[in-house]
Amino acid sequence: MKAFALPEVLNRLHREHADFARLLDLLDRQLALFDRGAADYDTVSAILQYCAEYPDAVHHPKEDLIYRVLRSRDPQLAAEVGDLEDDHRRLGELTRELASLIERALAEEMVDREEVHGLTRDFIRRYRHHIAREELHVFPAARQVLSEQDWAAIDKELDSGDDPLFGEAVADYFRDLRDDIDELAALAGGD
């Protein structure tokens, strides 16, 4: 392990994982409500919209960039931690699939409740597993292999788009979602 400080890009990705974990907790709560016939589809839809707008469009491409450098430096280690780009593609597909199912439910079309439950549960499980894999395997491998110059080049190349939900300026259309997340976090913290 190299002795330099944690690269800023990894700091940021790590903070974003903590934010996504709170989002997944809210989705988990909606799944429990769904099983009692009381889910709020607008909330679920907003969660999925955010996943498409930020994790899929900004967060995952940053990780892909790190992964590609790791693969070019140490293909064997990259293979051991798994194909991150493929994982991101699959998560993106799952997001779109679930979003379209929820849109149909919002439009009051007939949807299979088992399918909604199963896909939502899979989505939560796979996202959490994905984040854990990055934290436990991919990021440590990248820290081990990438040089300070690599991180500086990555930092330079990255455009850090603003997070419309957890960033300083919350987009109007995510205001309610942000309130729900903060409320759930306050409940969990016993406030």
Provide the binding-site residues for Fe ion, judged by CB under 5 A.
Answer: 60, 63, 134
Minimum distance, C-beta of residue 134 to Fe ion, in the bound complex (Å): 5
DSSP string, 49-104: HHHHHTIIIIIHHHHHHHHHHHHHH-HHHHHHH--HHHHHHHHHHHHHHHHHHHHH
DSSP per residue over 135-186, as a string? IIIIHHHHHHH--HHHHHHHHHH---PPPTTTSSS--GGGHHHHHHHHHHHH
CB of 137 to Fe ion, least distance (A): 12
Name the minimum Å distance from CB 81 to Fe ion. 12
Nearest CB to Fe ion, comparing residues 63 and 163: 63
Q: Closest CB to Fe ion among 60 and 71?
A: 60
In the bound state with Fe ion, the residue whose beta carbon lies nearer, of 66 and 116, is: 66
Burial of 32 (0-12, 13-18, 19+ CB in 10 A): exposed
Q: Which of 143, 173, 151 is nearest to 50 (CA)?
A: 173
Q: What is the closest distance, in whole angstroms, from the C-beta atom of residue 187 to Fe ion in the complex?
A: 26
Question: To the nearest whole angstrom, how small is the minimum distance from the Cβ of residue 64 to Fe ion?
Answer: 8
Nearer to Fe ion, 80 or 115 (CB): 80
Closer to Fe ion by Cβ: residue 13 or 99: 13
Min dist CB 127 to Fe ion, Å, is 9
**Environment class of 11 (CB within 10 Å of its CB; exposed 0-12, middle 13-18, buried 19+):** exposed
Distance in angstroms (rounded) separating the CA atoms of residues 102 and 87: 22
Closer Cβ to Fe ion, 41 or 71, answer by number? 71
